[in-house]
Amino acid sequence: MKSIFTFLALIFCIGFMSVQAMDIYVSPNGRDSGSGSQSNPLYSLDDAIDLANAGDRIYMRGGTYRYSSTIKILKSGRSGSVISVLAYNGEVPVLNFSSMSENDSNRGIVLDGDYWHFKNIIIEEAGDNGMLLSGSNNVLEGCIFRANHDTGLQISRFSSSDNSISQWPSNNLILDCEAYDNRDSRNEDADGFAAKLTVGVGNVFRNCVSHHNIDDGWDLYAKPETGPIGIITLEGCIAHNNGILTGGGSSGGGDKNGFKLGGSGIKINHIVRRCIAYNNGKHGFTDNSNIGSIEFTNCTSYNNKEYNFHTRDGASHIFKNNLSYRSTSNDRLRGDTSAPNVFDNKDSWPYSVGSSDFVTLTPGPDNNPTSNGFLSLAANSDLINAGVRSSGIKYNGSAPDLGALEYGGTTSPDPDPETYKLTLQASPSTGGSISVSPNKSDYENGESVTLTATANSGYTFVGWSGAISGSANTASVTMTSDKTITATFESADNGGGGEPETTVRIEDTHSSAQGLCDYDGSLKNYDNADNGSAINLSNSADKSIVWKVNAAPSGQYTLTWRYTNGGNSAHTQAIVAHNGQPVRDLTFPKTKDKETFVTISTTISLNEGVNELSLTTAENGEFADIDWIEVTGPGASFANCSAKNSESVVVENATDLFRISAEDYRMAGYATVAGDGYQTTTGGAGGSVVVISSLKELEDWASSREKETAPQIAYLSGKISSSKSTVVTIKHGANISILGLGDGAELENVGLNIRNYDNVIVRNLKIHEVFYPNDALTIDECSHVWVDHLELHSKIGPGIGVDTYDGLLDIKKGSRFVTVSWCYIHDHMKTSLIGHTNNSGQKEQDRQMRITYHHNYFYNTYGRNPSLRYGAIHMYNNYFDKISDYGLAARVGAHALVENNHYNDVDISMTTDKFPVSGLPNGYICQLGNLLTGDTGAPIISQTGCDWWNLPYEYQMESASTLARALPSQVGVGKIDISINSNAVIANVESHKDVVMSAAGFEVENNYPNPFSVKTSIQFHLDEDEPVSLIVYDMMGNEVYKLEHKDCSRGLNEITFHRGNLPAGIYTYILSTPRNAAKKRLSIVR
């Protein structure tokens, strides 16, 4: 039985696991080697960000942090579980980037992730923006952006490939922030705040102050090349004294406006409410050629150098309740000014304004200039209650006042509030209920709602999904849009072990891959349907909907439909069929009306595997419209509609329940993922062929492959053994396959060490009884490796100590894009080590490790099944039997995702806590769908890290309950056909002769220093004058640096590579000439 998943399909389940938020501490007195605890804080905010996951809090202690490179934030939190960067307990952290030169790329922080919250952080003296905000759904609160060499805070895209408004930063809130003294060397480009050029929808500035910046207070510029930006909302913001610095320096070519609201004649309907502009060097508010329909409501503009309000011909702006006083020029207004306003121009208005209308015209402090009554209306002013009601404006009294500051505060309700709907649902619908407080049909913007989930008898509450997440029964949501929230329940009884009961819901909008196969009708729109629609069958008998689901074991499953049946002539009878055979007549009672949805359930028997379900109308006429079907039972899951239906079978012996077809032995997991210059793992495909049948041939071949990248396939034939422990090392090259011929290829007391070799495949080979100190198979500093259908073992029992043999399969030193599949691993003490040391100096390299273990059979082993440090492993569909110590151990910050594995008689199935290291975090294990039987110890997991995962590949999983019967017969040697193509040209294995390179040959030396923090030198020899190119790739295969056609001379040459703004990590570089190329690695450290 199989089911096809992408990882995103699993997030629904994973999100319900309880994740304990972590507090990480950063201090000016911290250390890069710190653990991030309060007593042992970090210094680097970068390091803290690397540690943080959704829901975590980074606390910054007060003082100055002097950082020299851009802090790039690429990871994300999630809705309801943001990652926070917070000033600790009222202290004042200052992030100082003064060592940066002025350069477009030298931003202080690039926030390209989503769901972050920065609060009370000061960012100063960056070489460009203090912060570039390019992610979405973030909150910046109480932050200060000062003395940066371009705009203090700019909202724009980070990646130039994001070309549509849907990809641009959206739904960010900038709250109570301040920007000042931002100045570029030309005195003309640095604004306080900018949201320009490439900005998405839903961005809001609220109660922010921008003053004494060399250019504008706010800049919302747009240009034809990128087109319109999203509507920006400005509420309660103040712009003053822009065009001059606090120290008196003045602007050169800067615009000096308070609020610059567009550009290039592009129409964008921004919203400006209760904002104030005063003492700016040019205009207070200007549309800057944005001839759209900007809303100016309850704004005050005072004493600006030119115009208080300046708008252009052709605009259709809306002016309500605004106040203008003491401008040099009469206000220039284009649009609808019919509502009450008081402007500084020659028009006749029912109101006039003078100094006596104000409490004072002397500003308070720069960061809060109205705190002393500045521009507040005096008690006797006739501008009080003189305005008109307007959406989004609260007020005190009979009507809004004119101007930004409401006399007596804004306490009355908004007459036309924005409202949103909250949709709640339980899954399964029989699992429990949700109470809501307050319980209303519509909620105002910003209103908080409390939800409580209560499980029915026989069920337990698992967690929330949709607009919120978490596993606490009581949760709250803030209404800022229409929201849908689901409470998920599961059966409290798992039947004494075996598959856990799950619920799969197939929506009316699902695809055939998600179990919706066919229906005789169309989708009909409903406001109250889950996805806004339901299936409307044609109005006659024998019209059907067909679904397919997987069942883990055969047995009783509950089917539940959500439907509406409110038509006047609605018919109620239907036939439920299983695999084409009718099993139940079912009545769908009429509902109150066509908008009311209810559920109905029935129970039927399903076979293990794929089951086809159908619902067929039994009579002519209008039938119920179906929103979704839920199937609840052990291991229920989606099935692809192309999958063959399972039949009921009687098994005489439980040894051959099913056979996974050979095509399912194809490569999967991380080895398939593009990165480091490779699109996938191909090994020696397309290369020459050698056949190896002796130890000398194997050693000679390995020697010949050093520094060799031409693809080659090495077939191992028969048994190769050694009387003493031997390791054959294959190093410093790429593109090989090592394949065992037939079912008899084996290495006895001969291990393989694959070191600094990329694009490697090892299949169908037995390696056994390799005595200490050598491993059976070691993978060091490699990228793109597939290990498949190996048998790895030694002996275990009396007289065998923990160091009689070393590792069976060790993967170390930053190896990544590695898959280990369909291997038989048995009778060994130290089974599989991933990451060889806790030393923090190895952290930077080993945290790059990305490994997949799937469909492996571990039998009669002791520990390390596997043991993981720093990196990440995805384990699914492995079978662990008779493990006398522990299965998986995740250590020192490593992450493991463990799905649908079977643990039988395993002392400790999995643990994050077995190997604690002082000053370092334990590991993380996110586990689901695993089966624990026999004398197996429960998982010992203190932190899950489920939200860390976002797998870059699709994969296939079986139910854990099938593995014990299926895997043992399908793993190891002889299960795949490895033979030599009859057309292959067999090359001779020749002994490798060392070549001393001189000026007469092409040779690239290892770069020095390596690792490095600022720059490194790459030396190389050429045998003639020719151009050289250098390309550097990051670990995901993205090109990050390119130097083309540098003319070089015969002999020794050198290129100095500067790190620039590249983050710490491992990189691959290719240095090439028209005739030669060499590939190597470099490592950047902080």
Residues labelled as active-site residues:
260
Of how many residues is the chain composed?
A: 1086
Q: DSSP alpha helices (H): ranges in 950-1049?
A: 963-966
Going from the C-alpha of 21 to that of each of 8, 26, 42, 53, 415, the distances in angstroms are: 22, 16, 18, 8, 40
Cα separation, 790 vs 975, whole angstroms: 10
**Residue 154 CB-half CA count within 13 A:** 27
Cα separation, 757 vs 666, whole angstroms: 22
Tokens at 564, concatenated: 């509406």
- What are the two backbone dihedrals, phi and then psi, of residue 49, each rounded to the nearest 5 degrees? -65, -40
Query: How does DSSP assign 416-458, residue by residue?
Result: S--EE-EEEEEESTTSEEEEEES--S-EETT-EEEEEEEEPTT
Cα separation, 214 vs 194, whole angstroms: 13
- Residue type for 275, please? C
Tokens at 360, concatenated: 């004072």
Tokens at 54, concatenated: 């959704």
1051: left (phi over 0), alpha (psi -120 to 50) or beta: left
Which residues sit opposite 484 in a β-bridge? 423
Which residues sit opposite 818 in a β-bridge? 785, 851
Query: How does DSSP assign 110-152, residue by residue?
Result: EE-SSSEEEES-EEE--SS-SEEE-SSS-EEES-EEES-SS-S
Closest CA to 848 of 1005, 670, 707: 670
Contact 212, 366 (CB under 8 A): yes
- Residue type for 310, please? H
Cα separation, 562 vs 559, whole angstroms: 10
Closest CA to 207 of 184, 243, 235, 186: 235
Going from the C-alpha of 841 to that of each of 33, 709, 780, 821, 844, the distances in angstroms are: 9, 30, 16, 30, 7
1064 Cβ contact partners less than 8 Å away, ≥ 6 residues apart = 46, 844, 1084, 1085, 1086
- 1062 by Cβ neighbours in 10 Å (0-12 / 13-18 / 19+) ranks as middle
CA dihedral defined by 765, 770, 773, 779, rounded to 10 degrees?
Answer: 10
Which residues sit opposite 912 in a β-bridge? none
Q: Could you give the angle at the alpha carbon of 938 between the alpha carbons of 935 and 939, nearest 5°?
A: 140
Cα separation, 119 vs 131, whole angstroms: 13
At 12, which helix (H) or strand (E)?
A: helix 11-14
Going from the C-alpha of 848 to that of each of 86, 452, 688, 1007, the distances in angstroms are: 28, 41, 32, 20
Provide, for the chain, the percentages of residues in helix, strand and coil under a 3-state DSSP scheme, each rounded to the nearest 5: 5, 40, 50
685: left (phi over 0), alpha (psi -120 to 50) or beta: beta
- What are the two backbone dihedrals, phi and then psi, of residue 662, each rounded to the nearest 5 degrees? -60, -30
Residue matched to tokens 């007195």: 29
Closest CA to 59 of 49, 67, 68: 49
Cα separation, 833 vs 920, whole angstroms: 19
- Residue type for 628, please? W
Contact 48, 27 (CB under 8 A): no
